[in-house]
Amino acid sequence: MAELTVSMPAYNTERFIEGAIESVLRQKGVDYELIVVDDGSQDGTAEVVQSFDDARVRLIRNESRMGIAYCHNRVIEHSRSPFIAHVDSDDMLLPGALAKMVEKLKSSPDIGQAHCHFFDVDEQGRTTREAFRKRRRWFLQSRTPGMDYRRELLVFGSVMNALRTYRREVFETVGTFNEALRWGEDWEMALRILNKYDIGLVPEFLYARRLHEGNTWESLRFKGLRSWSQRFLIARRLRRSHQVGFLRQQQYDPRRLLLLGLCHILRLPEMAALFSIPRRAVHFAARHLLAPVLERAYDLAVNHLSWWPIKTIRSTKGAQKRRFAYYLWRFPTLSETFIRREIAALDRSGLDVQVIADAPGDLHLLDQKAESPAQRTHYLLPEDEGLFLKYRSRFRAADPLLYLSSFLNVVLCRYGSYKTLREDFHVFRKAIYLAGALVDQGANHVHAPWADKCAFIAWIASRLAKVPYSVQARAHDLYRAKHRYAHREKFGNAEFIVTNCAYNESHIRSFLPERDWHKIHVIYEGIDLEEFLPVQQKLHESGPVRILSVARLIEEKGLVYLLQACKMLRDRGYAFTCQILGGPELPHFANYYVTLKKLHRALGLDDCVSFLGAQPFERVLAELGSADIFVLPCVMASDGSRDITPNALIEAMAMKLPVISTNLSGIPESVENGGSGILVPPKDEQALADALMQLIEDEDLRRELGERARKRVQERFDIKKNIARYVALFQGAG
């Protein structure tokens, strides 16, 4: 018997249900079954479901359309699992979603229902970083720990509408779904559950809701009023029938709370319950007359006053000991081992380095060496409101003109693709909070190791705290479309600029006047060669050649071309295995991840190509030690992103692996074609396959390229040599 049953009602979702089912079948960590109920579809929905040759997938067909409540009840009838999850047939689950929902329900017998955060994607399964961050901020504000679900449900309607997962005994206690309801069946069930149980939240984004023209309820102009009227009738019936006892308590009086909900739908303040004409008139004028004028004035200011001369405040260097702060969005992060190495090397050199980050990264996947910097990192989130008010008062009182000019700088500078006055306040708030942390931590220099929005925030914070600021530019922060903003401000106001190759240096010069070019310093990424000790002599057996790629599953890594090259190798009879280590970057690249997995399945590569997911450093090191060939076929992504000097490539070279990559961006500065590796044109699966065939057939060439690769790393990427230049810069001798 499966531990979890996934219920998936489906009606005319032929276009999307394949992706929904695949997202379920990729789940790990829990034993589950999937029951799809075709609710009288008139397209090929049922045929798509039947195309899955998987014992976990079952199909139930209704002769006519019966409604979602009826479909869920049929699943409850056919299931014997202790837990049941509901997934819409046009949506997608993110990896690990089901296991985390079951874990939440198991954490307490009082929890009858669990849910998670969700984000919206378009018909192709795509979202934007700005849209996701906006949704994230909204969830952080509205889905707080200890939320009163009873009140929130009555006022705002469904507040747990993503991946609703139930304890089976709930239906035995409160009954099954009300099949008389065409809408709001999950809301009515939640009220009945709250009468006996708690509802638990998994505060992670585990569900992607797809928006498309088939979501008819999304496009109904009066869907809010229709939904409210349905909730009103449901609450009145439940109260009168005594099915939900708390509805008779004064604090949960549905008449009062639903009236507040109506005011929310009408976008009226709560006092608008009095329906006073003047208040409505003022609200109408503010929304339809004043707001457009202010929005237009804001756009004009941003577009035409960005030249406003606001100089960076630099503190004079005194005799005090210098303490440097690295500011990042997340730290430590599995894919950014080079930053951890850099900070550790600066520590060993005697510099006093403090890491300040918004939030921790992939702590559960990091090795023990990463635990120490994580413990010593000062995290800004969650913010302490009292501490923020203290910081704001401190900087405003210390230098009112500087405080005002810094805020104007945020308002007038286009620092990102998403920019509104509300976002300006959010960015300035983060800068104030960071500046306060710099002062409290005793830092007198702030360094941004990425030239993205974090660098802009670090610069504003440096002005408020009156400390020098520096920046480092590496890859996506220079070329990805979403980050190509405010480069003149971020680079022009830095005390010094570090970049990791000459390819980037020429690009950065385009943002600066020639008099500032001296501030740019090319320092190659460094690795600790003592960590990368290659196997002295690999005894290659007669078995298949082991091909390895270590990469996040994102477009610029070019993995689709690796899959196509592997198919060519298999078709020509070569014996090999190919392992891909690295996880998807969700939710921003969920669409690419789905495309990659579909291609893997379509090419029938299950027997020779495997995805191992994100792995700790020890596992990566072990795989590098046992591999025969390393491949990273980098490409330029559609948004301009590209790898510059891939860290994984350098690590493979340090392990004496023969490497194959592409002649893109700064990669030729790492790999000499024909000398320390093989470079092929980007997006050329045939050239990639030819290079792989050459190395598979010639073991001596593999050994020779590996020896040269290690020597290349010793000459150019030894962190013990490179860190001296960092130390000189930070100490002011650069």
The mean pLDDT value of the chain amounts to 87
Contact (Cβ atoms closer than 8 angstroms) between residue 128 and residue 59? no
Q: Which CATH number fits domain 4-265: 3.90.550.10, 3.90.1010.10, 3.10.620.30, 3.30.565.10?
A: 3.90.550.10
Sign for the CA dihedral angle at 82, 83, 88, 89 comes to negative
What's the pLDDT score for residue 83? 97
Q: What ranges make up the beta strands (E) of 366-454?
A: 378-379, 445-448
Going by pLDDT thresholds of 50, 70 and 90, the confidence category of residue 192 is very high
What's the pLDDT score for residue 273? 41
Ramachandran bin of 633, using left for φ above 0, alpha for ψ from -120 to 50, beta for the remaining angles:
beta
Position 313 pLDDT exceeds 70: no
What's the rounded Cα separation, in Å, for the pair 734 and 731? Answer: 8
323-522 architecture in CATH?
Answer: 3-Layer(aba) Sandwich (3.40)
Token pair for 300: 């004009």
Sign for the CA dihedral angle at 189, 194, 197, 201 comes to positive
In order, the DSSP letters of 321-333 are PPEEEEEEEESS-
Position 36 pLDDT exceeds 70: yes
CA 67 to chain centre: 35
What's the pLDDT score for residue 308? 55
What's the rounded Cα separation, in Å, for the pair 676 and 706? Answer: 7
What's the pLDDT score for residue 312? 47
Alpha-carbon Rg for the chain, nearest whole angstrom, is: 29
Position 272 pLDDT exceeds 50: no
What's the rounded Cα separation, in Å, for the pair 713 and 720? Answer: 12
Nearest to 17 by CA among 62, 57, 64: 57
- Paired sense of beta strands 111-121 and 165-167, if any: antiparallel
Mean pLDDT in residue range 553-571: 96
Nearest to 431 by CA among 540, 356, 529: 356
Report the amino acid identity of residue 633: P
CA 114 to chain centre: 22
Supply φ then ψ for residue 79, to 5 degrees. Answer: -95, 150
Going by pLDDT thresholds of 50, 70 and 90, the confidence category of residue 129 is confident
What's the rounded Cα separation, in Å, for the pair 533 and 710? Answer: 10
Least confidently predicted of 53-57, 426-430, 729-733: 729-733
Position 241 pLDDT exceeds 60: yes
Q: Which of 236-240, 682-686, 729-733 has the highest mean pLDDT?
A: 682-686
For the stretch 517-557, pLDDT in tens is 999 999 999 999 999 988 765 555 568 999 999 999 999 99
What's the pLDDT score for residue 277? 41
What's the rounded Cα separation, in Å, for the pair 614 and 95? Answer: 11
Which residues make beta-bridge pairs with 677?
A: 673
Which residues make beta-bridge pairs with 330?
A: 359
Nearest to 490 by CA among 504, 509, 470: 470
Position 274 pLDDT exceeds 50: no
- Paired sense of beta strands 576-581 and 609-613, if any: parallel
For the stretch 612-660, pLDDT in tens is 998 888 899 999 999 999 999 999 998 888 999 999 999 999 999 999 9
Nearest to 102 by CA among 116, 114, 88, 87: 114
What's the pLDDT score for residue 137? 84
3-state SS, one letter per residue, for 103-127: HHHHCCCCEEEEEEEEEEECCCCCC
Q: Which residues contact 38 (CB under 8 A, 6 or more apart)?
A: 10, 11, 45, 46, 49, 59, 60, 61, 62
What's the rounded Cα separation, in Å, for the pair 306 and 192? Answer: 55
State the DSSP code for 146: T
Contact (Cβ atoms closer than 8 angstroms) between residue 297 and residue 420? no
Mean pLDDT in residue range 40-59: 94
Position 279 pLDDT exceeds 50: no
What's the pLDDT score for residue 587? 74
Position 283 pLDDT exceeds 80: no
Nearest to 451 by CA among 498, 503, 502: 498
What's the pLDDT score for residue 216? 44
Q: What ranges make up the beta strands (E) of 174-278?
A: 198-210
Other Cβ atoms within 10 Å of 62 Cβ, number: 17
Position 706 pLDDT exceeds 70: yes
State the DSSP code for 287: I
Stronger pLDDT, 263 or 332, i.e. the higher one = 332
Mean pLDDT in residue range 581-597: 85
In order, the DSSP letters of 222-238 are THHHHHHHHHHHHHHHH
Mean pLDDT in residue range 413-432: 91
Q: Would you call the peptide bond into 332 cis, given omega within 30 degrees of 0 as the criterion? A: yes
What's the rounded Cα separation, in Å, for the pair 715 and 731? Answer: 25
Given this chain, do its domains 4-265 and 545-717 carry the same CATH topology? no
Using a pLDDT cut of 90, give the percent of the chain over it: 64
Position 217 pLDDT exceeds 50: no
Going by pLDDT thresholds of 50, 70 and 90, the confidence category of residue 281 is low
What's the rounded Cα separation, in Å, for the pair 676 and 712? Answer: 7
Which residues make beta-bridge pairs with 447?
A: 326, 470
Task: Give the strands of the sheet with 92-93, arranged side by side.
Answer: 57-62, 32-39, 4-10, 83-86, 165-167, 111-121, 198-210, 92-93
Q: Which residues contact 375 (CB under 8 A, 6 or more apart)?
A: none
Q: Which residues contact 16 (CB under 8 A, 6 or more apart)?
A: 89, 90, 123, 210, 212
Token pair for 183: 């809408």
Supply φ then ψ for residue 321, to 5 degrees. Answer: -65, 135
What's the pLDDT score for residue 732? 79
What's the pLDDT score for residue 538? 58
In order, the DSSP letters of 404-425 are HHHHHHHHHS--SSS--HHHHH
Which residues make beta-bridge pairs with 545?
A: 576
Which residues make beta-bridge pairs with 629?
A: 547
What's the pLDDT score for residue 651? 96
CA distances from 237 to 97, 122, 241, 244, 642 (A): 35, 37, 6, 9, 59
What's the pLDDT score for residue 12? 92
Position 707 pLDDT exceeds 90: yes
Type and span of the H or E element at 61 = strand 57-62
Helix axes 223-240, 185-194, angle to 10 degrees: 40
What's the rounded Cα separation, in Å, for the pair 208 and 200? Answer: 19
What's the rounded Cα separation, in Å, for the pair 164 and 101? Answer: 9
Q: Which CATH number fits domain 545-717: 3.30.530.20, 3.40.50.2000, 3.30.70.1400, 3.30.360.10?
A: 3.40.50.2000
Q: Which residues contact 670 (CB under 8 A, 6 or more apart)?
A: 645, 646, 649, 650, 653, 712, 716, 717
For the stretch 347-358, pLDDT in tens is 899 899 999 999
Least confidently predicted of 220-234, 325-339, 376-390, 428-442: 220-234
Q: Which residues contact 715 (CB under 8 A, 6 or more apart)?
A: none
Position 271 pLDDT exceeds 60: no
Going by pLDDT thresholds of 50, 70 and 90, the confidence category of residue 422 is confident
Q: Which of 103-112, 234-243, 414-423 has the highest mean pLDDT?
A: 103-112
**Which sequence spans correspond to the domains of the chain?**
4-265, 276-302, 323-522, 545-717
What's the rounded Cα separation, in Å, for the pair 141 and 70? Answer: 35
What's the pLDDT score for residue 368? 58
